[in-house]
């Protein structure tokens, strides 16, 4: 299951940052692939996101449930795919930084289900990392108005190659781990 964390510090008071983060209507549209969202109640919403994984593109609907709300500090949530076998969780946390700045951190885990889930989980890591980086960076830009901050964009081919490398690394590590276990089991 891919686990992603991205953190940065912005030159804005914590109260200002929380005022922005506490209302998902402010930052939901900043999410990569965002199409729309519908708030069902104060804890639940439905999000529609277009996911691009190299040449493959899918529209996915997620049921998002807020699981933790710490006023001024953190909002945590779970996601469940409504039309795709996807589950996950994440959080956006803020804390005091140095000299009237605010540290913001976004983290998430996401797991694809289905027969291809184990393969896709390794392929999507670089794409999800870039999406987390993009979301937090766009929040910084929206809150501070700092036009010098730029969203880092990597070449989609590089992202795809990184995903394939991740998959190969896991496969080779697993194969050699299996091989070393078998050889240690045969020794008297």
Q: Are 75 and 105 in contact (CB under 8 A)?
A: no
pLDDT grade, residue 77 (50/70/90)?
A: very high
How far apart, in whole angstroms, are the C-alpha atoms of residue 98 and residue 82?
41
The answer, as to whether pTM is greater than 0.75, is no
CATH of the domain at 100: 3.30.530.20
**Which range marks the domain in which residue 33 is found?**
3-186
Q: What percent of the chain has pLDDT over 70?
A: 75
How far apart, in whole angstroms, are the C-alpha atoms of residue 32 and residue 128?
9
Structurally, the chain folds into a number of domains equal to: 1
What is the tens place of the pLDDT at every residue in 81-92?
A: 999 888 999 888
| 3 state DSSP class of 155 | coil
């Amino acid at each position: 299951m891919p686990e992603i964390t991205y953190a940065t510090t912005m030159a804005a008071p914590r109260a200002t940052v929380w005022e922005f983060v506490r209302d998902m209507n402010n930052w939901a549209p900043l999410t990569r692939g965002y199409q729309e969202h519908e708030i069902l109640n104060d804890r639940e919403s439905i999000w529609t996101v277009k996911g691009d994984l190299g040449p493959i593109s899918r529209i996915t609907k997620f049921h998002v449930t807020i699981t933790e709300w710490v006023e001024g500090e953190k909002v945590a949530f779970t996601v469940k795919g409504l039309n795709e076998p996807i589950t996950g969780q994440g959080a956006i946390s803020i804390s005091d930084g140095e000299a009237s700045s605010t540290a913001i951190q976004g983290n998430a885990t996401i797991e694809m289900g289905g027969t291809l889930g184990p393969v896709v989980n390794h392929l999507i890591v670089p794409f999800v990392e870039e999406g987390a980086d993009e979301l937090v960076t766009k929040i910084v830009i929206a809150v501070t108005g700092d036009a010098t901050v730029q969203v880092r964009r990597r070449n989609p081919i590089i992202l795809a190659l990184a995903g394939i490398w991740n998959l190969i690394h896991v496969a080779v590590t697993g194969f050699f781990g299996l091989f070393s276990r078998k050889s240690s089991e045969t020794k008297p």
